[in-house]
Chain A
């Protein structure tokens, strides 16, 4: 073996060793900061339903959906998130306009039904996720004192593609998209702070 090729081999080995040591060191350091399952989620205490979740998600149909917490929901007949209370009322005094532009907020009457006066009835509100585009109009309308604040926006993990960089997080003006080490929902919104 010539001197030249053995010198080359030496440099190769040294370079390889350097490479392995560098990679090993960086991997070791990062492994201490790594999590097996980090996810993005909306922090409802910071979310202002600004509509950017609808427009900024890389999915053509945003992975952010409105979710109704049934144990907080008032089951109101005159739900401010369901119907536009400022719109023209019909002959029974029920507003005719709806808040949801996608018609994704559905309701069905539950319990004992009073056929004569709808105001005596209770309604269960659910979100049709195939229609909901995460605009947050209902979430905004449900905020206290008009509503109970039972609606909130949530990143649905079955839809989210877990981008390397969440496109909504980049534009979110209220830093409401948070990275969670442990999958879950951040604590419910503190409505002592009323968002605009």
Chain B
């Protein structure tokens, strides 16, 4: 104690500073600690580590161009050509490219989350391709209805292709389940933008920003032919269920389908079942596996533009060069 007081005041004050400085100096030495590259004595040249380039920009352009082409083709096939075969072929091509080749990623359904995160958080970097994938199908839906669902969406195509024996879902149940997409959309937007931070009594939920739609996508594990067990299980349930119930994901869960349905309700042109007051046979309503024909007209929001109704319509068959509608009706009436 006595000896400490003899140390000059400036030195006592400087001691901690000197200590910190010494530590900093030693850490600088630490940072520079490196054995020098040796001289090998031979004709050795140092290799440079390879860094693979990310996907070239033109690959993103190809994706967007493929989307625009598919959407345009879908609109033309559904609204102009009115052909189920064409839409089916388009959906097979889309499934091959967007599903199996691009492995279900890039997709407008998931893009909802990027767009949400981009709107909520200015620091979030959204990629231009994802932006195009989110907005283009919506623009097409405002113009031509849900042509994206019918022939372009890989998830829709999977369900459409496995649909072998559609059963009619009771109207009451369907009416409740149809709220599913909007509920899912709300939850997905909440998690993509903010996460969930709730304290309820002793319980505390603290989940950061998550992209739930991607994490629970039922078909992405099929496209990648790999995935966690729960993903494969969900995919299996939807595939098996989809054999008997038309497009269960599209109708009752898909949040992007919900957005497209809103846009499609005010679309410039939709799938239209030609009115025929004398006949109104209802064959189209029987052919629609998605319960989208109400009072013998295609429901503007729920119709996914699959063109099955045209395929069943005697007048459409006649228009395309088949037997006349009267002959067809006569055949139907006969046992």
Contacts and interface: CB of A to CB of B under 8 A. Distances in A.
Interface size class of A (residues with CB under 8 A): 35 or more
A195 interface: no
Given A29-B119, A37-B57, A154-B51, A165 B127 contact: no
Given A33-B125, A37-B54, A144 B214 contact: no
Nearest to B40: A111
5 contacts: A12-B266, A75-B40, A157-B51, A162-B54, A181-B125
A191 B30 contact: yes
A52 to B, nearest CB: 15
Contact of A34 (B131, B214, B224): B131
A178 B158 CA distance: 34
Contact of A164 (B34, B55, B105, B119): B105
Contacts of A71: 37, 46, 48
Chain B interface size band reads: 35 or more
Interface in B92-128: 103, 105-106, 110-111, 113-115, 118-119, 122, 124-128
Contact of B127 (A11, A38, A190): A38
A33 B126 contact: yes
Given A68-B49, A148-B35, A191-B31, 13 more contacts: A15-B266, A27-B131, A34-B125, A36-B127, A37-B54, A59-B226, A74-B37, A75-B37, A124-B44, A124-B47, A145-B33, A164-B110, A183-B53
Interface stretch (A18-26, A81-89, A90-98, A130-138): A18-26
Interface in B6-28: 27-28
B299 interface: no
Contacts of B262: 19
A126 B268 CA distance: 60
A163 B111 CA distance: 11
A119 interface: no
Nearest to B33: A144
Contacts of B127: 34-38
A74 B124 contact: no
Interface in A125-170: 126, 144-145, 148-149, 154, 156-165, 170
B60 interface: yes
Contacts of B268: 12, 16
B47 to A, nearest CB: 5
A144 B263 CA distance: 59
A190 B34 CA distance: 12
B52 A19 contact: no
A50 interface: no
A34 B126 contact: yes
Nearest to A74: B35
Contacts of A164: 105-106, 110-111, 113-114, 130, 211, 214
Interface in B121-147: 122, 124-131, 135, 138-139, 142
A160 B103 CA distance: 12
A69 B49 contact: yes
B108 to A, nearest CB: 11
